[in-house]
Amino acid sequence: MKEATWSTAARYQPYSSWAPDYIMKLKAQVAASKWRTKTHVQPDTGLINDPCSLNFFNNKWHLYYQQFPFGPVHGLKSWAHAVSKDLFNWRRVPGDLLPDNEYDSHGAYTGSALVTHGTLRLMYTGNARDDQWHRHSTQLGAVLGADGRLFKDPKPLILTPPTGYTQEFRDPFLFNYEGQTYVLIGGQRPDHTGAILLYAKQTDKSWRFVAPLSIPDEFCGYMVECPNITFINGKVVLVYCPQGLDQDFFEYENVYPNIALVADSFDPTTGNLTHQRLQNIDKGFDFYATRLANTDDDGTLAISWLGLPDTTYPTDDDGWAGVLSYVRQLTLRDDHVCLYPHPAIKSLRETAVENLPVIQQHDDEWTVTNLEGAFELAFTLAAGQKTTIHLPDGDHDQLLIHLDSDSGQGMIQRENRNNGGSLRQFGFPAGETVEIRLFIDVSVFELFIDQGYRVVSGRFFGNEAPTAARITPPSAASDVASWNLKKDNGGL
């Protein structure tokens, strides 16, 4: 069933009404897709989009993310549940959050979670529609116990938006600050300006609206989705998705940006933020809905949807859409937000001799062969040099990356098989020797330059999974290394 044929009734019918025969055929269709990844979180069937929560609970990492399991479209959303020991080898387990009451009758939308009193406490947006198809947004709660059972709260946590805001009121992010629990919620005013709304939890467990964060309207577009906050080295970092941001004010190329705001201080009694500056945290084609996790031992973690709203992908014809990024650590370097893979990503490397890529230096290029579709490629780019990474696909390149360390300019080009464009340009520190790490996973790329100072992520869709790479000229690159990647649990 292609998107054009998906009626509203089909998208929002109860999960129990989907015929087993349809689901079996969909699974077979998805399994045959040549663009299935080997190491990324992806749907068994249908669509996944926003990551909702990432928490270490009961001796495991728990990941929740949005899904519509019945087709590659946005329909009646639920939360899928997966667990991992190392943040990279994920396994689906029971405990999905399903839309089954009057408040989430049209979808369990994005939210977050905190570990509290030996349980995982979830907060999410319930989406309901009336007979005129008007939206009613409610912030709801659920709890996951140590035994893996999930229970919803009987009553809403926040029934309606505060006065002066519309029903575009969603994506709660729970956080602790100075011994108090707060939540940020994306919002919109009647004049179609976006806002991030701050609530404080009271001793009676109710939520009190404090204020909108003091962010200028031009930083927020007409609606804010997926707000997050973290505190690093005495600074405040907000990560959020402002829809409709003026491109003359802030440069971005995707349909909606996913940006960071760095501030010097945060006042939880007023929502005031001082000395704010903006940054695009990923310059790739497909990157949205980042969810942060504030942890005790691993710093601030980040995971994102490598997809975009209002965008089609070739995998749609195969019955599935969407992947999540690798888990990254978010740090600040000179007030610049950096994203870099968590060190546990090394658990994906295949180390058996027979599975190692073959790396050779020739007069005119480095070649890397014996690649198996999912691999890591790393090298050092010398200062004042230009290099190009080629991923061949028959007689042409399915992915081409140009890097100029003298000017600090880069470009990535892919075959244009969807409506997200084929070219992205980006900057990175000029005149320096920089480390390059490129992760390829069949139809996904994640590029990290200078230990995450610049990140470029997205999808690409070649005729075949990549089995070789070339780096030209050979004099620009040194310390070339590569590993094939594989999950140890059969994948999702």
Q: Which residues are catalytic?
A: 50
**Dihedral, 236, 242, 248, 252 alpha carbons, nearest 10:** 90
- In Å, what is the CA distance from 376 to each residue of 165, 397, 404? 46, 18, 21
Q: In sequence order, what E strands does 298-385 have?
A: 300-305, 320-321, 328-333, 336-341, 358-361, 366-369, 374-381
Distance CA 342, CA 305 (A): 17
Distance CA 223, CA 213 (A): 14
Q: What's the number of CA atoms in the CB half-sphere (13 Å) around residue 197?
A: 28
Q: What's the number of CA atoms in the CB half-sphere (13 Å) around residue 156?
A: 17
DSSP state of 357: P
CA 283 to chain centre: 13
Distance CA 316, CA 65 (A): 19
- Would you state the structure tokens that stand for residue 185, as one six-digit string? 């919620």
Distance CA 145, CA 152 (A): 11
**Coil vs helix vs strand at 434:** strand
Q: What is the DSSP string of 219-275?
A: GTTTEEEEEEEEEETTEEEEEEEEET--TTTS---SSS--EEEEESEEETTTTEEES
Nearest to 413 by CA among 394, 430, 397, 429: 397
Neighbours of 273 (CB within 10 A): 20
Distance CA 485, CA 492 (A): 15
Determine contact, residues 324/437, Cβ cutoff 8 Å: no
Partners of residue 389 on adjacent β-strands: 401, 471
- Angle subtended at Cα 27 by Cα 24 and Cα 33, rounded to the nearest 5 degrees: 145
